[in-house]
Amino acid sequence: MVSALGMTAVLGGCGSTGSSDVTLRLVAADYGDSAANSSKKYWDTLVKAYESKHPGVKIDVSVYSWNDVDRKVKDMVAAGHAPDMAQIGAYADYAAAGKLYPASELLSIRTQADFLSQLSEAGQWNHTQYGIPFAASTRVLFYNKTLFAKAGITPPTTWDELAADAGTLKDKGVKYPFALPLGPEEAQAETMQWLLSGASGGTGYTDDIGTYTIDSAPNVETLTWLRDDLVGKGLTGPVAPAKLNRADAFAAFADGQVGMLNGHPTLIQQAEKKGVKFGMVPMPGRTGKARASMGVADWMMAFKQNGHAEQTGDFLNFVYSEKNVLDFSRTYGLLPVTGSASNTMGESGAAADKALRPFLDQLPTSELYPVGKTSWAAVSAAVKQNIGQAVAPGGSPSGVLSRLQATATAADSGDAG
């Protein structure tokens, strides 16, 4: 998912903002997978509705892909030309540098109170919320119903069952019995899902108080199992996990070449377009249901440089209305970040909303990346580049995790958040 858009809004004559026009710029990420469903269309519609109620407003939209959007914003800030708002993947570095408005200086109490609590908490740096959740997703295990029926197997509920199912699928000639994307695109996500479902409850990347525990014994055990019981037995397909990216794994699933993989809501639309019959179940744990699903949130933030807190806040209150949150979530198959929109979606009888229920059900108990740590960006990058080596035949899970722990500890030493 990714797309960045630059918005320019000229605000004037509303409330106490005065009669002079103010230009606001928003850079956002594109969640579409083609020009036909680019996020630019979503923002164009939203902006038109906002402008119709604010005659002095002009909003100019530009869109970048997820591959570029974070870097674009970083370059703009470094050049002294921060946008008024950015809707990107991480906020903590900017918060720590004192560049962002706290959410409380922008949003109405009603808007703030509507965010799902674990998302608001994940948006905090140094106990103050700077990251405003914009989109959320969780992960479930997708499986190809047609391939499972041909193989005479049922969806797994434990790791041993998952490995057994993958073995049966391999015997039936399935190209990717279990697709394990640990390539540099999004390895930090696949890894975290496995760590959370590991032995001893799974520890993820950090403990309950936010200290990195990457090289914990349960985490070493998890990657050792992946190396020996999945990768080592040839159950993950022809592309080494370290070289398999998430987008390629999703495309292979949509082409009917994958038996099972961990997926987020956008895979529903991708698979349905290709006519793949699929089912979804919670990610199995080592001996039963995983302790938690992995949750992911993308963030909206507002930069202080241009001093437009009041105008920016007015626009963001509109962005986070129930209608607009639902429109975005439904367009891109993602989960609402507000309680009002979540409740509406959960009670809806629409087929598309029902399809998101397995993800919606997991969101309240999901665990998010440690995004409130300024060190997370460096740690995430290191995981993307190195974790695939741990599960390669002959790889050393303990060695790779120890090096990642050292990277995390060093990066964390200067982190006040």
pLDDT per position as a tens digit, 137-154 = 999 999 999 999 999 999
C-alpha to C-alpha distance for 236 and 229, rounded to whole angstroms:
10
| pLDDT average, residue stretch 293-312 | 93
| 271 and 378 both lie in a single domain | yes
**By residue range, what is the domain housing residue 282?**
140-292+373-412
In 156-170, which positions are buried (b, 16+ CB within 10 angstroms) versus exposed (e)? bbebeebbebbbbbb
The burial class, CB within 10 Å (0-12 / 13-18 / 19+), for 289 is middle
Percent of the chain whose pLDDT exceeds 70: 93
* pLDDT tens per residue across span 87-98: 998 899 999 999
| 386 and 277 both lie in a single domain | yes
Residue 417, domain member (yes or no): no
Residue 363 backbone phi and psi in degrees, to 5: -60, -45
- Rounded to the nearest 5 degrees, what angle is found at the Cα of 180, between the Cα atoms of 174 and 182? 150
Supply the mean pLDDT for the chain.
90
| 162 and 89 both lie in a single domain | no
Residue 352, domain member (yes or no): yes
| 267 and 408 both lie in a single domain | yes
CA distance readout (Å), 147 to 141, 168, 169: 15, 10, 7
- Match 């991480």 to its residue by tokens: 90
| 112 and 152 both lie in a single domain | no
The answer to whether the CB of 140 falls within 8 A of the CB of 282 is yes
- What CATH number corresponds to the domain at position 378? 3.40.190.10
| 279 and 148 both lie in a single domain | yes
The answer to whether the CB of 162 falls within 8 A of the CB of 260 is yes
CA distance readout (Å), 161 to 257, 288, 292, 294, 393: 20, 10, 19, 21, 22
Whole-prediction pTM: 0.82
Per-residue pLDDT, 20 = 57
Query: How many domains does the structure of the chain reveal?
Result: 2
| 245 and 128 both lie in a single domain | no
| 10 and 75 both lie in a single domain | yes
| pLDDT average, residue stretch 305-311 | 91
| 239 and 388 both lie in a single domain | yes
Among 45-54, 200-209, 275-284, 335-344, the minimum mean pLDDT is found in 200-209
Pairing of strands 62-65, 22-29: parallel
Residue 250, domain member (yes or no): yes
List residues bridging with 206 in a β-sheet.
Answer: 212
- Alpha helices per DSSP H over 202-281: 217-225, 246-254, 266-273
- Match 């041993």 to its residue by tokens: 160
Query: How many CB atoms neighbour CB 73 within 10 A?
Result: 27
The answer to whether the CB of 282 falls within 8 A of the CB of 293 is yes
